Amino acid sequence: MGSVTAPCLALLSLLPAASAATLPAMVIHRFYHHQLPFAGASGCAGYQPRFLLAGGELPEGVRLTLDGRVTGEAVRIASGTAAVRVETPCSFGEREWSWTVRGAPVLDIAPPEIVLDRGRREAMALVSSSWRDLAYTVSNAAGGPLPAWLKVRPRRGRTPAEGSALTGDRLLLVAVPELAPPGARAELLVHSWQASEPVPLSVRFGPEPETGP
């Protein structure tokens, strides 16, 4: 009976037994790219693992490459499973992956306009979405960095996770009065690559509040 070489044993220890896993959700008509695990494994005298579709199917418009990339653009909302075989000349493993193609999430922010001044240097906005646990970013609508007089601090940078009682992620906006020019205004965009479109947020730094006689 032949023996298995040490490099092959090392690779065999990395390849999982048949088990189920879930791909990150895809968005219809949006480019998708995800690297399956073990693509960088070595062994069998330097052979790289090959990834092959062994059963089931991927969404229409999405394919599996030999080096383990799930890539493409799904053309319809659907769900399903695909069995992927990972092999080298001396070892193999197989795993079933479930996948879902969803409609693009909708972002929302409340309130859409905030006024700060020397008496109210901080304010909170709430970022929510039709998707749970959706990562988002905040940028300058005009391009470039955010204005120096405004600090933007998301609590998580993601909408609340599944099962959370929260309805949105808290976005803290802090003005730095000494850096704010008269009539300072910042037009921001809250966006996520999956979302159908970004949502605007307007922040204005008003004059110093009037005092009584």
pLDDT tens per residue, range 101-141: 999 999 999 999 999 998 999 999 999 999 999 999 999 99
The more confident residue out of 207 and 83 is 83
The more confident residue out of 131 and 9 is 131
The more confident residue out of 20 and 211 is 20
**Both structure tokens of 150:** 């405004």
5 pLDDT above the threshold of 80:
no
Looking at residue 39, what is its pLDDT? 46
> Which of 104, 28, 25, 95 has the alpha carbon at shortest distance from 61?
28
What average pLDDT score do residues 35-43 get? 65
Confidence of residue 202 (pLDDT cuts 50, 70, 90): very high
> Which of 151, 154, 165, 163 has the alpha carbon at shortest distance from 126?
154
Looking at residue 190, what is its pLDDT? 98
The answer to whether the CB of 53 falls within 8 A of the CB of 64 is yes
- Position 161, amino acid: A
Lowest mean pLDDT among 69-73, 110-114, 138-142, 178-182: 178-182
The domains of the chain, with CATH numbers, are 6-102 (2.60.40.10), 107-205 (2.60.40.10)
pLDDT tens, position by position, 139-177: 999 999 999 999 999 999 999 999 999 999 999 999 999
Place of tokens 């005009």: 142
Residues with Cβ within 8 Å of residue 46, at least 6 apart in sequence: none
Query: Mean of the per-residue pLDDT values for the chain?
Result: 87
Q: Is the peptide bond before 24 cis (omega within 30 degrees of 0)?
A: no
196 pLDDT above the threshold of 90:
no
Looking at residue 14, what is its pLDDT? 45
Burial class (CB in 10 A: 0-12, 13-18, 19+), 62: buried
- Angstrom distance (rounded) from CA 9 to CA 161: 40
Confidence of residue 37 (pLDDT cuts 50, 70, 90): confident
